[in-house]
Amino acid sequence: MQLSSIFGMLLFLYTILLFCQLCTKAEKYICQMIGDPKYPLLSKDGDITIGALFPIRSIETLPSFEFTKKPQPLSCSSVNLRDFRKAQTMIFAIEEINQSERLLPNVSVGYKIYDTCGSRLSSMSATMTLMNGHDVAAGDKYTCKQSPIHAIIGETESSATVILSRTTGPFKIPVISHSATCECLSNRKDYPSFFRTIASDYHQSRALAYIVKHLGWSWVGAVNTDNDYGNNGMAIFLTTAQEEGICVEYSVKFYRTEPDKLQKVVETIKKGTAKVIVAFLTSYEMYNLLEQLSIQNITGLQMIGVEAWITAKRLITPNCFHVLGGSLGFAVRKIDIAGFADYVTKVFWETAFPCSKPDENLSQYALSCKIYQDLLVLKNFSDDVPEQRYASNVYNAVYAVAHSLHSLLKCTEGCEKDMLIQPQQVAEALKKVNFTVKMGDHVWFDRTGGVIAQYEVINWQQDSDGSVQFKPVGYYDGSLPPDKRFLLNSESIIWVGGQLEKPRSVCSESCPPGTRKAAQKGRPVCCYDCIPCAEGEISNETDSNNCKQCPMEYWSNTEKNKCVLKAVEFLTFTEVMGIALVFFSLFGVGLTVLMAILFYSKKDTPIVKANNSELSFLLLFSLTLCFLCSLTFIGRPTELSCMLRHTAFGITFVLCISCVLGKTIVVLMAFKATLPGSNVMKWFGPVQQRLSVFACTLIQVLICVMWLIISPPFPHKNMKYYHEKIILECNLGSTAGFSAVLGYIGLLAVLCFILAFLARTLPDNFNEAKFITFSMLIFCAVWITFIPAYVSSPGKFTVAVEIFAILASSFGLLFCIFAPKCYIILFKPEQNTKQHMMGKVPSKMLIFLYTLLPFYHLYTKAENTICQMMGDPKYPLLSKDGDIIIGALFVIHSEVSLPSFEFTQKPQHILCSSVNIKDFRLAQTMIFAIEEINKSKSLLPNVSVGYKIYDTCGSRLCSMSATMGLMNGLEFAARDICTGQSPIHAIIGETESSNTVILSRTTEPFKIPVISPSATCDCLSNRKDYPSFFRTIASDYHQSRALAYIVKHFGWSWVGAVNSDNDYGNNGMAIFLKTAEEEGICVEYSVKFLRTEPEKIRNVVDIIKQGTTKVIVAFLTGFEMKSLLEQLRIQNIAGLQMIGVEAWITSKSLMTPNSFHVLGGSLGFAVRKIQIEGFADYVVKAFWDTAFPCSFNAELNCSQYQDLFVVKNYNEDVPEQRFPSYVYKAVYAVAHSLHSLLKCREQNGCEKDLTIQPHQVVEALKKVNFTVKMGDRVWFDSTGGAVAQYEVVNWQQNLDGSFQFKSVGYYDASLPPDQRFVINTKNIIWARGQLEKPRSVCSESCPPGTRKAAQKGRPVCCYDCIPCAEGEISNETGNLQPISQFQKFKRKLIIGSFCIILLLFRIKFLIKEVHK
């Protein structure tokens, strides 16, 4: 076995050596062609030759390989029109270069164009022929010489281009592809001589991810061609998708020759849940996939395509649209090459087509025109030329080669034709080319050999005749800044199934605020469950990954989407428990004072004298202080109240106990003094009694002073006991200090109790020691039970327990010591004698005191440039020349008729009709203001101000055209290039917010200031996006918030909301909804529509009809309000209280007899009505004499002005116009800014020679501050806006049946906050002509005795009223919870009270036993 292996290895080595010998044998022959040479399909000789490979035919028929005879040549069929046009484009470009005197003069460029038939075999054969030349056919022996071509243009597909580039790579022959987009070809190490005039798929793949992200799809499928093009492109897309948070459900691939794989792909798509599929396929694979999807009737999938198939005509079949309808994708730009359409129908066939005029030098094979027969069918056909998208890439490639050779041949007036140019020199020169072709495209190659990515976003749409069109709906331009590269007009897109609403494709629905995402095990990150946030945590964003912990002083609301301030709890004077405690405190004070008065009036009676009247009065005084000190514990804790309450409590109680102690000692000493030989009373006379009380009290005062100095009590927010609320309490500061105070009180109380207990048996009919003993017993029992109750009580009940202990012990002392005496004084005066006091009379007061203790619980209560003009320039409707030009855009006509776009002839001009008198007045106001300025000697003296006023007809198309006309000037059209700075210094307009957004975005790169008189969208306040925008009207931020305030003012907590689906409506409504939520207003529904969406309007009306709210906030433009009003009137929906905005609330066009029963009583904000002096007269005479074009220009065609003559002698509407003053201010603002820039002086005039740039005007506008003749001060805030000033307007009907907009209030943001909003409710007429304000609530208020229970899934304003449970109460309207904590606390106090009573009875029993 080992010998045979060794022998086999040796035989293999000998074979290799023999092969090497044969390869190195020849000295002169280093290459040899096997078989017949391949001839070009189209060719022409020249000093320089450019080769090309195109699949001009798409089907190749292979001969029979029987290996018995020489195979026949390959035959091709089925003309591929798109690649045939590329070949024609190449020839067209070469003929242009040959005729050019500027590029390669005196050098003829030839070409050799091969048909690869879409076959790699033919492609390789053609490549070898291009590199070797035709002369190899002369004999078998020849020498290889320099390649006869200087560059190769091709191929069409990426995989074929990879093969071509690898084959030509060792010979350094440059390959320039016009449509090979594979990112793999960007590798300069593997493909150093490769270039392309189309962008790499790197950009397209990333753009696919961006468009998916932009449209909110997080769950997609992916299909790609299993070749270099598809695999590389899909790999980049998948990487970018992962970066952008997009999940791919499946990623499958197949090749056109793999039917089994295709079936598996279709099954995967069928089983998948993704509604969006990214198809990175060539047109061949897409055709196969489309066929299978149609067979299996798999529809409703939103296809996202690439340039290879998104505009492929071959995919348009009768059954295709139900699968591919609504597809969205990127396509290369469509660029028209001037003269090419005519060339392909005539000149090409006469000069470049081989069968046109046979030449004797052509070979017999070339003269045989059989291979050209199928091409002759296309001779007179050119309808497809305007739709060709790759022709310009071929054109650019040819010119790139020509420019590189132009530099290598050192061409000036002529070229050095004798120079020998190597292919590698051409490759190096191509890296440096930088030129612009006649279509305006700038051509250069980046370090990877590619060009800048520029795509159109294409949408498959169906015309009314059933034909399919590829409609551009956006673009991607890699040459622009990152934030402006991608633009998509979603409103123009028709989605899959002909839907106008964007399809949804998510694995899991978005988690609303208040929840967080929890990943589903084993599934992609886009698949998750929504878990509600825990208590105290929130998520205020959709699809939040984590819930955020609220700050310490905040707690989550019910929806868990917002942190709200925790409720601060403390014992107040206004709540029931506080009132009860105050009552008992004052009752105790009153009772003590009455007893003091009684004692004072009976001070000479035996019972008062016997009880040490001086100490008794001092004791009554101290008890009064004890009752009063309890009041310091009620109310919001402050530093002063915290220090006062504890120190006052400690000192007053020590004073009280000291008096009791003094009385006890006096009683004890008095009986001791009666013994024979006793002289003790001289040591405890009145002076000593006072000193003892003072000394005992002084010690407590010193303790309190030390406590306050070292660590005083202070207010403290306790957040530990309750998570959902804050307990505002007094922190003791020093627990030792508080313990010392209580300990000292306890020490005196115990000492007093012991002494009183010892004196209880002394012989006296009214022995006071017994009552002192019992009072001290109550005192100690109260404060012993106080400790556990104080520690365990929650929140404000801690304070209540302390107050109760103070009051209970004070009442105990008062009743025990003084009640028996008062009883005798008042009801038993016969016992108030010296004789009777020597006897024994049992006291019954203790029984009365026992009965008081069970009521302990009643004292408490519970808690609670590069540019180009396309088409004809647009001319202004009204204009005047001047040193300074101000442009303007107004909707002077409100209807537009678009021409027919058949793409067979140049479209006609857009026609406008239906005069909009409101905007016509704005144009007249602008001219009036400019004429005033021109006549002024103080403002812009010796400078004439001109204007260019364009009519946008309410069309964005006209608006954009007018904007370009303003920025470029009319002279632009003559030379077709940009010639310097903008001819205007500022633009006044537009009227609507959405159009103003477009205008501002268009002019912003050129820093041209835009001043709008009526665009109120708050989005325009963003100075980052709109740094050059200003407005003389206030932002909708103020109006939106004012709408919420007016709703709140009238007590409406349940409203509906409707807004225009544009920048104006969406931004305004967003601010209103946010403010409404802050103000506690619930919105039943919030819907939107656009005037062009009749289906949406009907849906909105149905929602309004089904709603229960009686108030609707309508944030609509006049056009949308008109559409809504029409539908409400048709369906007879009336009686709704409309709250409107300035855009429609004073619109005369809406006020008709039929509309008043719907809109009568409407309330809303309108801009102020300011009269401009002299304007009413100007619009009927001076304007028509001096500014109207047909008055002074006889040569002008006045047909476009005919409809304006109707308003010539009409000015009755002028007093009602509200926006002219804002135009007037805008013009004067521009004038004042230019006045400062031109350094104008009243005597010397202005420096007219200064060149003013638009950006200088922008900066000057920021600083203007002046007052117009009407008295209004004009200046711009940091957002470019003005101060908000509105009238509150009410729709009312006069006695004669006419209608009026009556002013019933105002909103002025320039005033202090408490004076900004004023409304006179008495002057308002409500909906249906009612004088009483309508009610609009979701649920009626819950009466006392019930509580509110939120209705599941509905706003917080919707609830049911549930009766409180047994043992629970609610004593307020609208209580959320019954008083449940009250019951718990009450049980504690009852149990504690009974324990005290049992303890007292037990002590009494023990005393009796001891006595016996």
Question: Strand, coil or helix: what is 1255?
Answer: helix
Respond yes or no on whether the N-terminal peptide bond of residue 992 is cis (omega within 30° of 0): no
Residue 1139, pLDDT > 50, answer yes
Residue 971, pLDDT > 60, answer no
Residue 394, pLDDT > 90, answer yes
In single-letter form, the type of residue at position 749 comes to A
Question: Strand, coil or helix: what is 945?
Answer: strand
Q: Sorting pLDDT into bands at 50, 70 and 90, what band is 526?
A: confident
Find where tokens 């006044």 sit.
988
- What pLDDT shows up at residue 427? 93
pLDDT tens-digit readout, 643-674: 888 888 888 888 888 888 877 777 676 655 44
Find where tokens 């409203």 sit.
1055
Q: Sorting pLDDT into bands at 50, 70 and 90, what band is 1393?
A: low
Task: Tell me the CA distances in angstroms from 103 to 99, 434, 971, 1232, 1311, one per residue in order.
Answer: 9, 14, 30, 53, 72
Q: In 10 A of CB 1150, how many CB atoms?
A: 19
pLDDT tens-digit readout, 679-690: 555 555 677 777
- What pLDDT shows up at residue 215? 92
Residue 1367, pLDDT > 80, answer no
Q: Sorting pLDDT into bands at 50, 70 and 90, what band is 124?
A: confident
∠ CA 491-494-499 to the nearest 5 degrees? 105
Locate 997 and state its tokens.
Answer: 């957004």
- What pLDDT shows up at residue 278? 96
The answer to whether the beta carbons of residues 585 and 809 sit under 8 Å apart is no
What backbone phi and psi angles, to 5 degrees, belong to 68? -115, -20
* 628 vs 970 pLDDT, higher one: 628
The answer to whether the beta carbons of residues 1377 and 864 sit under 8 Å apart is yes
Give the residue ranges of DSSP H helices in 1252-1364: 1254-1261
* Distance in angstroms (rounded) separating the CA atoms of residues 1394 and 290: 89
Query: Residues of 279-291 as b/e, b for ≥16 C-beta within 10 angstroms?
Result: bbbbbbbbbbbbb
Q: Sorting pLDDT into bands at 50, 70 and 90, what band is 611?
A: low
pLDDT tens-digit readout, 261-288: 999 999 999 999 999 999 999 988 999 9
Name the average pLDDT for the chain: 82
Alpha-carbon torsion 228, 234, 239, 244, what sign? positive
Q: Picking from 798-812, 877-891, 1365-1379, which range would have the lowest pLDDT averaged per residue?
A: 1365-1379
Question: Facing residues of 134 across strands?
Answer: none
Residue 64, pLDDT > 50, answer yes
For 1346, residues 6+ apart whose C-beta sits below 8 A from its C-beta are: 1361, 1362, 1363, 1364, 1370, 1375
Q: Sorting pLDDT into bands at 50, 70 and 90, what band is 25?
A: very low
Residue 865, pLDDT > 50, answer no
Nearest to 1285 by CA among 1166, 1170, 1171, 1172: 1166
- What pLDDT shows up at residue 1194? 60
Q: Picking from 211-215, 427-431, 819-823, which range would have the lowest pLDDT averaged per residue?
A: 819-823
Question: Facing residues of 258 across strands?
Answer: none
Nearest to 1053 by CA among 1124, 1106, 1108: 1108
Q: Sorting pLDDT into bands at 50, 70 and 90, what band is 860?
A: very low
pLDDT tens-digit readout, 876-935: 888 888 888 999 999 888 887 776 666 666 666 778 888 888 888 899 899 999 999 888
- What pLDDT shows up at residue 7? 41
The answer to whether the beta carbons of residues 219 and 274 sit under 8 Å apart is yes
Long-range contacts of 343-347 (CB under 8 A, 24+ apart): 343/88, 343/92, 344/85, 344/88, 344/92, 344/382, 344/385, 345/379, 345/380, 345/381, 345/382, 347/95
Q: Sorting pLDDT into bands at 50, 70 and 90, what band is 1404?
A: low
> What does the pLDDT average to over 615-640?
85
Nearest to 550 by CA among 568, 538, 567: 538
Nearest to 615 by CA among 660, 575, 581: 660
Q: Sorting pLDDT into bands at 50, 70 and 90, what band is 447?
A: very high
pLDDT tens-digit readout, 305-337: 999 899 888 888 877 888 999 999 999 988 889
Task: Tell me the CA distances in angstroms from 809 to 616, 653, 771, 1094, one per residue in order.
Answer: 17, 10, 14, 79
* Distance in angstroms (rounded) separating the CA atoms of residues 248 and 221: 6
Residue 848, pLDDT > 90, answer no
Nearest to 725 by CA among 581, 575, 578, 550: 550
* Distance in angstroms (rounded) separating the CA atoms of residues 1226 and 1233: 11
- What pLDDT shows up at residue 1389? 58
* 611 vs 514 pLDDT, higher one: 514
The answer to whether the beta carbons of residues 456 and 203 sit under 8 Å apart is no
In the chain, pLDDT over 70 holds for what percent of residues?
84
Q: Sorting pLDDT into bands at 50, 70 and 90, what band is 868?
A: low
* Distance in angstroms (rounded) separating the CA atoms of residues 1330 and 1345: 34
Question: Strand, coil or helix: what is 740?
Answer: helix
- What pLDDT shows up at residue 853? 34
Which is it for strands 911-915 and 42-44: parallel, antiparallel or unpaired?
A: unpaired
Q: In 10 A of CB 1189, how many CB atoms?
A: 17
Q: Sorting pLDDT into bands at 50, 70 and 90, what band is 1293?
A: confident
Q: Picking from 214-228, 506-520, 523-537, 898-912, which range would have the lowest pLDDT averaged per residue?
A: 898-912
Query: Residues of 630-663 as b/e, b for ≥16 C-beta within 10 angstroms?
Result: bbbbbbebeeebbbbbbbbbbbbbbbbbbbbbbb
For 431, residues 6+ apart whose C-beta sits below 8 A from its C-beta are: 445, 449
Residue 1010, pLDDT > 70, answer yes
Residue 1319, pLDDT > 60, answer yes
What backbone phi and psi angles, to 5 degrees, belong to 1236? -75, -35
Q: Picking from 103-112, 1064-1073, 1233-1242, which range would have the lowest pLDDT averaged per residue?
A: 1233-1242
Q: Picking from 43-57, 844-858, 941-955, which range would have the lowest pLDDT averaged per residue?
A: 844-858
- What pLDDT shows up at residue 253? 94
Locate 295 and state its tokens.
Answer: 């067979």
Q: Sorting pLDDT into bands at 50, 70 and 90, what band is 843?
A: very low
* 1046 vs 863 pLDDT, higher one: 1046
Residue 1316, pLDDT > 80, answer yes
Task: Tell me the CA distances in angstroms from 762 to 665, 773, 775, 952, 1407, one per residue in order.
Answer: 13, 13, 18, 113, 14
Residues 1323, 1328, 1329, 1331, Cα dihedral to 10° = -60
**Alpha carbon distance, N-terminus to C-terminus of the chain:** 129
> What does the pLDDT average to over 938-947?
88
Q: Sorting pLDDT into bands at 50, 70 and 90, what band is 1093?
A: confident
Residue 852, pLDDT > 70, answer no
* Distance in angstroms (rounded) separating the CA atoms of residues 1370 and 1342: 10
Residue 980, pLDDT > 60, answer no
pLDDT tens-digit readout, 686-702: 777 778 888 888 998 99
Question: Is residue 1377 exposed (0-12), middle (13-18) or buried (19+ Cβ within 10 Å)?
Answer: middle
Residue 1172, pLDDT > 50, answer yes
